[in-house]
Each structure stands twice: as structure tokens, then as C-alpha cells.
Amino acid sequence: MKNLRHLLLLLIQVTSTPSQQAQIRCDDVQSHCRQSNLSWTSCYEENIAMCKRGPASRRNIEDVDVKDFYHNDVDNMVDFEHESAVGYALYLPSEALSRSSGARFSHEVTVALTLFNSSLFNAQVGKNETILGGRVLGVKVGRRAVRDLNSPVRISFIHTNETRGRCVYLEELENGTGQWSTEGCNVSRTSKMFVCSCNHLSFFAVLVNPEALTSVDPVNLVSLSYINYIGCGLSVFFTAITLLMHLCLRNFRKGRSDQSMTVHLNLTAALFCLHLFFLLSVAWPLLGRDPDRGVGLVVCQALGLLLHYSLLATFTWMALEGFHLYLLLVRVFNIYVRRYLLKLALVGWGVPMVTVIACAATANYGKFCLQRKREGVLHTGTEICWITKPYVSYITVTGYLGLVFLFGAVMLCVMVAKLRKVRTRSACHQEYKRRLGRDCLTILGMGCVLGVPWGLAFLTYGPLSLPGLYLFTIVNGFQGVFIFFWFLALTWQPNKDEGSAGKDPSTQKMETSFNN
């Protein structure tokens, strides 16, 4: 029995640790790997976790190529957290620790963290990009490679300026060289650090582009935030009042066509949802709930989906406003369409639903940090529940908005031309002058519902970026308020314009179309 126990202990020792002759001092791993036939990064990963610690191991910190070094045995059954005094923090889930352990009967695994000078790595970076702080963190746990984790590893890198970055890791190529890759890694940004969430272990860094990206200065940032929140709050209130007023007053609008008003009210409902879910999506990460896991993640994903759906629905109904205007102004006669409003509703609410379902199926929602390029992409530094993958946002939001804005701008030009043609037929010059102000308000109102104000985003490019950003925030943040006042003007307009008797029927019908 004693011999059997001795044999079992010997087997455990053989399977859990390499022979003493094979061990290298931790101080000598880097110099040893530089002389190896393998790439030094592969050699370093192979030896650093199993190296021999000693009193002199901390000398690595004094090396010009190594900024920080941590080497210790930890319990592989619990999560591991480490915060360094030199600007990074690490969270390792117990899944990564247990999978990397080479021993079946041991509950300990070695964690080796090395913060390198980025000059050691020859991997190419993107144009105008640099490695944040010139530092690369190597993370190695136990003997086995760790990939495809269900619970991601989180590495936090502190930054000192408002820049945009992307998390990368060193990917080994077949020719022995390496390249920086983002596969398996997502990034989120707080006011003080970048947080990289990756499903594997490797050499990690953050690539930033300080020349192409900048932040709004703190004073303007606070001002824009207050304007945005106040505008969205008022828009939620006034769009809700608009919908309630329509429900109360629709019984008093007998004998008048409700098609145009119904289209306007669908757009108003979409704007109500947009401003409401925007406020909720911004507020959720501020409530103290972790939006990266658990219930906090599920709620954040749901808010991101609803915000995306509301935005796409708003754009779609703006496009339908343009289509409806086309039928009124271009195809003045014979515009009856069977179940017209039902078909518009299916397009206005159905197309965005198909889009967000496709995005949700590929897990595109979660916590995202809004940023702004110097040339004009909006940046508030605010964490929001939104689309996490930039290319999805570019395609479904930016691209879609471009098409809607182009169509709305064309229809607004057609409307101005038609309106001018109608007004020049007026025989009374005084009547023309009296209607001029009213026509200007009509054009402004139609421009608002056609989505033209969203084109102010183009003014946030170039030297006028800050004034353009203020104008964009004010006009679109208070869009619900503008819709309310326009609704009042449409609701209490007279059934017939003064002096309409005796006019050409086509001219009178055109004017009625404009008013509706």
C-alpha cells in the first residue's frame, strides 16, 4: 500500500511539472528565446509559465524591454483578477484557468503576465496607428493553449486622452512573422481605460489613431450632453401629447381625408420610441448594473435592439413621407391604392423589424462607446446600449440614412418647385405676399418630416465641426417639439383657404395636398 501511494505521487509529479533540468530561470527566458530557432514569441509562451522562479526574478522589471512582470501560482477553480501599478488590469475567468492546467489532480496553475515594450514586436500596424503607450501585454496561463472561451478574458488599458482604439492580439503567421488581429476580441471604452474582451490568451495591445481622432473639449461635451438629454426628454413629452391629441380630436375631423395625417402620426410614434429608447439606452450603463454579463447584458442588448429598431423605423417613415408626397404632387390624379395605409404600415414597421432580427441573430447588440472623429463623426464619450460592430452600424444606419436623406432632399426640391408654380398663378399680388410666410413654414415642416435635418451631420466635418455638431444636436434633439407645433398648425387650419372660390380645380387640389 505504501509503495502504491509512492508510485501515485511520483506520477502526479511527472505529469504536473517538467523536469528540473528542463526548467529555465524566469530571468533567462527572454534571452534564451532570442537564441532559439523558433520565433521568440512562441518560445516565450512555451517557457514563461513553467520557468523557475527565484529571488532575482523581479529583475525583469528593470529590463528596458519589460515594463512589468507577474509570475505566481493561483487557484484554478476561482476567477483571477490582477491590477498593476503601471496602467493595466486583468480578469481571468475560472474557465480559462482550469482549461490551461496541465495536471488533473492539482488545483493550482501558474499565471505569467509580462508587459513588454512594443519595439520588440515587428508586426505591422494600420496607417497612422500606434500602440497605446508603446506597451504589449503577454498573458500566459499553464501549459495548454486557451481558445474559444465562453466567458471572455478582460484586459483593461488606461489611457490619458480621448482617443478611439481597437483591441488586437499577435497572430503568428506560417513564415514566422506576426500580425495584429482583432479576431475574437471586442473593445469598449470608459473615460479612463480601454477594456478588451477576448476569447483566448495571447499578446494583447490597443491600436489607436491620435491624428484622426479627437474629443470634444470637456466644456462643450457637457453642453452638448445637456442639450441632447433635454431635447430628447421634451421630444418624448411632446410626441406623446401629439398622439394623445390626435386620439381625442379624430372624431371631430369628419369629412376630411386622414391619409396624410396618419402617415405623419406614424412618423411621430417612431420619433417617440427613438427618443425614449435613446434615453433608456444611455441611462442603463449609468445605473451601476454591469452591461457586460448577466441580467445587465440581456437588458442592454434588448435596449440596443429597440433603439436600432426605432431609428430605422424613423428613417423608413421619413422615406414614406416622401413617397406619399410624390403621390400628392406628381401623380395628382388617380392616386387611389387599395389598402394604402396598411401597405405603408407593413413597410414602415416591417422592414426595420426584419433588419434588427437579422442583426440580433448575429449578436450585434451590447454596450458601445460613442466617439467622434475630428472630421465630424459624433463623439460624446458616453456609454450606450447600441450596435457593437461598426460595420453593421455603417451599413444599416449610415448607408440607410444616406439613401433616405437623398430621397427626401429631392422630394423637398420638387415640393418647392410645385409650390412656386401654384403660387405664381395667383392673380392677387397681396394674397401671394400674405401666403409667403405660411409657405415657408410648410416647407420647413415638410423638410423636418422628410429627414432633411439629419443631413446636418455632414456639417460636422471640417473646420465647422463644432458649430455643426451643436446645430445637429439642437435640430434633431428637439425634432419631436417641432413635429408637435407642426401638428397643431395642421389640425387647426381652416377647411378652405380664403379666396379659394373660382380657382382652377387642379390648383386648388394642389394647395389642399400641400396643406394636408
CA atoms within 13 A on the CB side of 295: 3
Give yes or no for a contact between 135 and 42, defined as CB atoms under 8 angstroms apart: no
Q: Give per-residue pLDDT as tens, 67-104.
A: 888 888 888 888 899 988 888 899 999 888 888 775 55
C-alpha to C-alpha distance for 98 and 376, rounded to whole angstroms: 46
Does residue 173 share a domain with residue 271? no
Which tops the pLDDT comparison, 377 or 299?
299
Residue 495 has pLDDT above 60, yes or no: no
- How far CA 277 is from CA of 99, 145, 244, 270, 280, in Å, comes to 40, 42, 19, 11, 5
CB 261 within 8 A of CB 490: yes
The domain that holds 123 is classified in CATH as 2.60.220.50
* In a shared domain, residues 381 and 495: yes
pLDDT value at position 372?
46
99 with 237, same domain: the answer is no
Give the confidence band of 211 by pLDDT, cuts at 50, 70, 90: very low
Whether residue 373 contacts residue 208, with contact meaning beta carbons closer than 8 Å, is answered with no
Could you tell me the CATH number of the domain that includes residue 383?
1.20.1070.10
First to last CA, the chain: 97
Q: Give the pLDDT band (50/70/90) at residue 505.
A: very low
- For residue 333, which phi and psi values (nearest 5 degrees)? -105, 150
Residues 449 and 400 in one domain: yes
**Domain limit, last residue, from 172, 188, 208:** 208
- What number of other Cβ atoms are within 10 A of residue 395's Cβ? 13
Question: Are residues 160 and 231 located together in one domain of the fold?
Answer: no
Residue 50 lies in a domain: yes
Rounded Cα distance between 33 and 19, Å, is 19
**What is the maximal distance between C-alpha atoms in the chain?**
118
pLDDT over 50 (residue 508): no
Q: Which of these ranges, 27-31, 172-176, 224-228, 341-345, has the smallest mean pLDDT?
A: 172-176
Question: SS3 for 371?
Answer: coil
User: Which of 177, 208, 239 is the C-terminal boundary of a domain?
Assistant: 208
Enter the C-alpha cell of residue 220: 462643450
- pLDDT at position 54 over 80: no
- 240 with 367, same domain: the answer is yes
Same domain for 161 and 223: no
Say yes or no: 125 and 262 in one domain. no
Residue type for 21, please?
Answer: Q
Residue 303 binned pLDDT confidence (cut-offs 50, 70, 90): very high
Q: How far apart are CA 488 and CA 106, in angstroms?
A: 75
When mean pLDDT is compared across 26-35, 186-195, 423-432, 441-450, the lowest value belongs to 423-432
3-state helix, strand, coil in the chain (%, to 5): 55, 15, 30
Of the listed ranges 9-13, 55-59, 159-163, 440-444, the least confidently predicted one is 9-13
Residues in CB range of 171: below 8 A, 6 or more apart: 178, 179, 180, 181, 183, 202
Does residue 193 form part of some domain?
yes
Residue linked to cell 426605432: 310
| CB proximity list for 341: less than 8 A, separation 6 or greater | 259, 262, 263
Among 208, 238, 257, identify where a domain stops.
208
**Confidence band (pLDDT; 50, 70, 90) for 26?**
confident
Query: Which residue range is the domain that position 490 belongs to?
Result: 218-515
Say whether 65 sits in a helix, a strand or coil: coil
CB 475 within 8 A of CB 456: yes
Torsion of CA 124, 127, 132, 135, to 10 degrees: 20
Q: How confident is the model at residue 51 (pLDDT cuts 50, 70, 90)?
A: confident
- Beta bridge pairs of residue 153: 198
Residue with cell 437579422: 358
pLDDT at 35 exceeding the cut of 70:
yes
Q: Is residue 16 part of a domain?
A: no
> Same domain for 204 and 240?
no
Looking at the chain, the whole-number percentage of residues with pLDDT higher than 70 is: 70
On the question of pLDDT at 58 being above 70, the answer is no
State the chain's mean pLDDT as an integer: 76
Indicate if 418 and 488 belong to the same structural domain.
yes
- C-alpha angle 82-87-93 in degrees, rounded to nearest 5: 30
Please tell me the number of Cα atoms within 13 Å of 38 on its side-chain side.
13
% residues pLDDT > 90 (the chain): 17
Whether residue 56 is predicted with pLDDT greater than 80 in this model: the reply is no
List the beta bridge partners of residue 25: 52
What tens digit of pLDDT does each residue of 215-267 get? Answer: 556 677 778 888 999 999 999 999 999 999 888 877 665 545 468 888 989 99
Predicted pLDDT at 273: 96
Strand partners, 70: 113
100-131 pLDDT tens trace: 775 555 678 888 888 888 888 877 776 667 88
pLDDT, position 318: 92
| Residues 389, 422 within the same domain | yes
Q: Residue 431 domain-assigned?
A: yes
| Same domain, residue pair 204 and 299 | no
Structural domain count of the chain: 2
Let me know the angle formed at the C-alpha of 451 by 330 and 513, rounded to the nearest 5 degrees: 30
pTM above 0.85, yes or no: no
Query: What is the H or E stretch that residue 74 is in?
Result: strand 66-75
